[in-house]
Amino acid sequence: VSTQSTGKKVTLELGGKSPLIIFEDFNLRNAVSVAMLANFFSQGAVCSNGTRVFVQRSILESFTKQLVERTKKLRVGNPMEEGVKVGATICRMQYDKILGYLETARTEGAEVLCGGGPITPEDPELAGGLYIEPTVLGGCTDDMTVVREEIFGPVLCILPFDREDEVIERANATEFGLAGAVCTDNLSRAYRVVSEIGRGGILHEYQCVQ
């Protein structure tokens, strides 16, 4: 695309593998809510999803426990029905692609904490549909395929971190700089981290999730 002759500004969306950074001072329940919304809304088919969930190690265990518990309760089925949170994958090609990524994740050493495969909703009319369980992967490392490549499905990767400078460097280590989010109650840290992350658009979560 050339805009040299017109001088117009153009933004090209080339994919997303956005970081969601959760610091230990952020409310735990709200942090889990943010992570679930950033990965399972619209079956994970959102280009700006925060699929690399960086969690400060001091809260990793409690965060993971609550995340898995709540993810297991998500209803899969017809999204037009009340209480259903996750619908079908858009097409067979994408469905197979997501399952392929999950198999690769297992091969590369990720731990499937919940989900991880196809699911048949309760409604018998939906049998044979392209439904995938909301999936949480633990034991992830920055070099894994599921951490580096856009899956475009309901797959969340947990990545522990210790220090602010460390997580900034790791968050920036991606080809796809579409978006990002920082969860902290410390406004000074929020502005500091946001200014250092090279993403297209950054959201600061400040205890705004009920």
Active site residues: 13, 47
Query: Any residues with CB less than 8 A from the CB of 160 and at least 6 apart, and which?
Result: 54, 55, 56, 57, 60
Q: Are 14 and 176 in contact (CB under 8 A)?
A: yes
Task: Name the residue with tokens 């475009």.
Answer: 152
CA 85 to chain CA centroid, Å, is 15
- Strand 75-76 vs strand 52-56: parallel, antiparallel, or unpaired? unpaired
What are the tokens at 41?
Answer: 């809304």
CA 94 to chain CA centroid, Å, is 17
CA 35 to CA 113: how far, in whole Å? 15
DSSP-H helix ranges across the chain: 28-40, 60-72, 92-107, 145-148, 164-171, 187-196
Three-class secondary structure of residue 32 per DSSP: helix
CA 199 to CA 204: how far, in whole Å? 13
Three-class secondary structure of residue 78 per DSSP: coil
